[in-house]
């Protein structure tokens, strides 16, 4: 009597799946049915133990060789999503911080003298604050946003405006600190222009903390000379 070869049967099963092509919805149905059948037959006999391997392999091959990548992608995306979203948030904020001033900010700053002449300084300050609130608040924890504005950590494009500069965030790198939960280190190359002429580029670095809220808790710039050089370059004399 020919001896049953489990490994050979297993290999043959895998090879037979190479030609399978299915729609994404059909693959999901197959997966659901496989799981249900396994649960019903669990623990019955040795043949079932082999079936678990075959069904698992069948499931993987149908989804991967069939071109779906559905489950694998889903698992990978769910695992990577929090980290990727945090990095995306930081990149977005750095892009805003070091690109501009935009048209809306320019319009507010252009009218500063008019506000003062009409004794509407408070209204001017409110409009300016509202502008920053609109663009930054979605990315910061509710109780931390105002502190970052008051310490001028998010207002570099306003500073650039007064000296006629236009800033542009060119290259942004964000790396998670593996030793500290919720901590990310970043560098950003900040280009500064007068009109269409690029006058220089300065690298600025710092650190951001994002916790369970998915929003920025703190953003700090390193005292490594980069930010100091940028501020010195774009700040008006006597500013």
95 and 61 co-located in one domain: no
Both 122 and 226 in a single domain?
A: yes
**Cα angle: 76, vertex 80, 81; to 5 degrees:** 110
Same domain, 51 and 110: no
> Are 37 and 10 part of one and the same domain?
yes
75 part of a folded domain: no
For residue 29, being part of any structural domain is answered with: yes
With respect to residue 97, please indicate whether it lies within any of the assigned structural domains: yes
Residue 198 C-alpha from the chain's centroid: 28
End-to-end CA distance of the chain: 95
The answer to whether residue 73 sits within a structural domain is no
* Domain finish residue from 43, 68, 93: 68
Asked, for residue 192, whether it belongs to a domain, the answer is yes
Task: Give how many domains the chain has, as a whole number.
Answer: 2
pLDDT of residue 143: 86
Considering the domain architecture, whether residues 41 and 141 belong to the same structural domain is answered as: no
In a domain, 58, yes or no: yes
Q: pLDDT 10s digit of each residue in the chain, 239 long? A: 555 455 555 455 445 545 555 565 665 565 566 556 555 555 545 444 545 555 555 555 545 555 554 554 554 444 445 568 999 999 999 999 999 999 999 999 999 999 999 999 999 999 999 999 999 999 999 889 999 999 999 999 999 999 999 999 999 999 999 999 999 999 999 999 999 999 999 999 999 999 989 999 999 999 999 999 999 999 887 65
Integer Cα distance of 67 and 27 in angstroms: 10
**Confidence (pTM):** 0.67
- Asked if 120 and 188 sit in the same domain, the reply is yes
pLDDT score at 84: 85
As given in the structure block, the two tokens for residue 153 are: 């950590």
> Do the beta carbons of residue 107 and residue 127 sit within 8 Å?
no
Please indicate, yes or no, whether residues 122 and 18 belong to a single structural domain of this protein.
no
Structure tokens at 226: 């980069």
- The verdict on residue 55 lying in a domain is yes
Q: Residue 76 domain-assigned?
A: no
Q: What is the CATH number of the domain that holds 185?
A: 3.10.450
Q: What confidence score (pLDDT) does residue 5 get? A: 55
Question: Do the Cβ atoms of 133 and 161 come closer than 8 Å?
Answer: no
- Looking at the fold, whether 151 and 107 belong to one and the same domain comes out as yes
Which residue intervals of the chain are DSSP H helices? Answer: 6-16, 24-41, 46-64, 70-97, 103-110, 112-117, 121-136, 145-150, 156-162, 226-234
State which residues form the domain around 117: 81-234
Domain boundary among the residues 16, 33, 68 is at 68
The Cα-based distances of 192 to 11, 155, 157, 196, 233 in angstroms read: 62, 15, 10, 10, 9
Same domain? For 50 and 85 the reply is no
Distance between CA atoms of residues 238 and 232, nearest Å:
11
Site of tokens 């998010």: 154
């Amino acid at each position: 009597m020919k001896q049953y070869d489990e490994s050979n049967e297993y290999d043959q099963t895998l090879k037979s799946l190479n030609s399978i092509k299915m729609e994404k919805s059909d693959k999901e149905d197959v997966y659901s049915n496989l799981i249900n059948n396994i649960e019903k037959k669990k623990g019955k006999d040795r043949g079932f133990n082999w079936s678990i391997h075959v069904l698992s392999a069948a499931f993987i091959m149908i989804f991967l060789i069939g071109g779906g990548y559905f489950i694998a992608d889903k698992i990978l995306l769910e695992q990577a999503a929090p980290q990727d979203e945090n990095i995306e948030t930081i990149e977005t904020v750095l892009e805003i911080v070091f690109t501009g001033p935009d048209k809306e900010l320019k319009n507010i700053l252009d009218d500063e003298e008019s506000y003062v002449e009409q004794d509407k300084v408070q209204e001017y300050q409110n409009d300016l604050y509202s502008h920053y609130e609109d663009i930054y608040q979605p990315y910061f924890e509710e109780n931390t946003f105002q502190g970052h504005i008051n310490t001028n950590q998010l207002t570099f494009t306003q500073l650039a405006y007064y000296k006629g500069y236009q800033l542009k965030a060119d290259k942004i790198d964000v790396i998670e600190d593996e030793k500290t939960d919720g901590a990310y280190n970043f560098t950003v190359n900040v280009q500064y222009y007068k009109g269409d002429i690029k006058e220089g580029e300065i690298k600025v670095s710092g650190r951001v903390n994002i916790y369970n809220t998915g929003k920025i808790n703190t953003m700090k710039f390193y005292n490594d000379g980069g930010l100091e050089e940028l501020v010195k370059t774009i700040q008006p004399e006597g500013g």
